[in-house]
Amino acid sequence: MRRDLASPAIGGSVRRMDRTDEHSDQARPANLGQLRSSGWVSVPVKVELRRNAAARIRDGRPVIEGVDGYDDTVLPQIEHALLAGHDIVLLGERGQAKTRIIRSLVELLDEWMPIIAGSEINDDPFAPVSRYAKDLIAEHGDATRIDWVHRGSRFGEKLATPDTTIADLIGEVDPIKVAEGRYLSDELTLHYGLVPRTNRGIFAINELPDLAERIQVGLLNVLEERDVQVRGYKIRLPLDVMLVASANPEDYTNRGRIITPLKDRFGSQIRTHYPLDTATEVSIAAAESRALDVDGVTVDLPDFMAEIVAEISQLARASHDVNQRSGVSVRMTVANFEVLGASAVRRALRLGESTAAPRICDLDALSASSAGKIELDTIDDDAGGAVFAHLVSSAVLTVFKARLDLGAIAEVVDTFDDGSIVSVGDDVSVSEYVSLVATHKALAEAIDPLTTAGSSDAVRASAVEFVLEGLHLSRRLNKDSDGFRADYRSRR
């Protein structure tokens, strides 16, 4: 971190010590006297976060990077909370980037911070709080050794579970230290928990309401009084911690599993949400999904197929058959992206093709990657397949109507009046689709809006299936399915 000698900051003038000599340890003070001479001034962690967040806002940079779809909703509220110096709780269903946001806050800390060497709780050299650090300074004075910790070490995280204890979060008496002759009331007998060890940093609790109520009560002093109590006696540790938590909205109510006094201690309560539109969902899934790397096969994902996958999730979040309290995570979209590509690659490998483009027939493969991510609001356990099939059909039809003008492709329907039948399926090669388009002028014109001059034959084959399926779902063509094959024919 780079510290200017006269850098104005909220709460006072602050000088940041940096590794100015390309990560050279000699550039940083090594003992208390050198640190004092350098002009370094300590500030509370929330002031530090405020200062660095303000710098990003002033420079037009995002405070939280790598999160899409929150620019006009969640991120401004996070900026407000950081500038106000609040502890934060993020409320949202699963798969709404709550954990990613929390972990990204670490980047707003200064890169390096000095502590008393050997301190378990990151003691401030100028304002130590532990007995260990105070005794060390009393003995060595300005010769007290200083260590520098990276911001990555100033973050603590705990997934709340019903079996979480005060010892986990706050600390416990170490019987070995007692056996060495120390009194139980001696602070040096403590083995510190996660919260004290994150002193001068950020501590995160995921799924906060899952903590037992008595443990929630134990956090009250951390938030309000900034001290801790262990084994019936009080230890004054004025910890400097920013607390960030996540919770499901259903649990974070007076009727849920959160105690009101703890809820009242958080300065800002921020509601997250799922992507508000299909384009954002596609962008997130494309960034998060793992690329398929199979020798000899290139995956070419058509835009309309990506939109269909995203639209399935969008429709599921509005479906009365799906339990909305559980939510439909973006992870379902990501998993479906990956399985859709895998299905196309499998076909390419079997048919000896070098380019794999997902088709409508590959959508059947998504049932496996979606089944565990959708909870139904029905007592019929066998209804899941029908509900998902309806979501898929609705998504295809939605994208079809958005992408194509039915009037402009009506001629395709007319060409089936002579009794023609077009067969598609997982075992139909790209070359067969190319031959079909070459002899079917209306179909060739219909797929033009879905392709470009540089589109691969595999993408054109995918566009053919998309047009035919869209016409079927629009009640313009009949469809007969038999295993992995489907035949499209006239309705007349």
Stretch 104-122: mean pLDDT, rounded?
A: 95
Q: Each residue of 290-316: pLDDT tens digit?
A: 888 899 999 999 999 999 999 999 999
Q: Which residues are 191's β-sheet partners?
A: 172
CATH topology of domain 7-271: Rossmann fold (3.40.50)
Phi, psi angles (nearest 5°) of residue 456: -75, 160
Looking at residue 292, what is its pLDDT? 86
Q: pTM for the whole thing? A: 0.83
> What CA–CA distance (Å, rounded) separates 412 from 391?
26
- Binned at pLDDT 50, 70 and 90, residue 25 comes out as low
Q: How confident is the model at residue 217 (pLDDT cuts 50, 70, 90)?
A: confident
Determine the average pLDDT of the residues in 272-284: 94
The Cα 211–Cα 171 span in angstroms is 16
pLDDT digits (tens, 9 = 90+) for 144-159: 999 999 999 999 999 9
In the chain, where the domains are located: 7-271, 278-490
Residue 220: pLDDT over 60 = yes
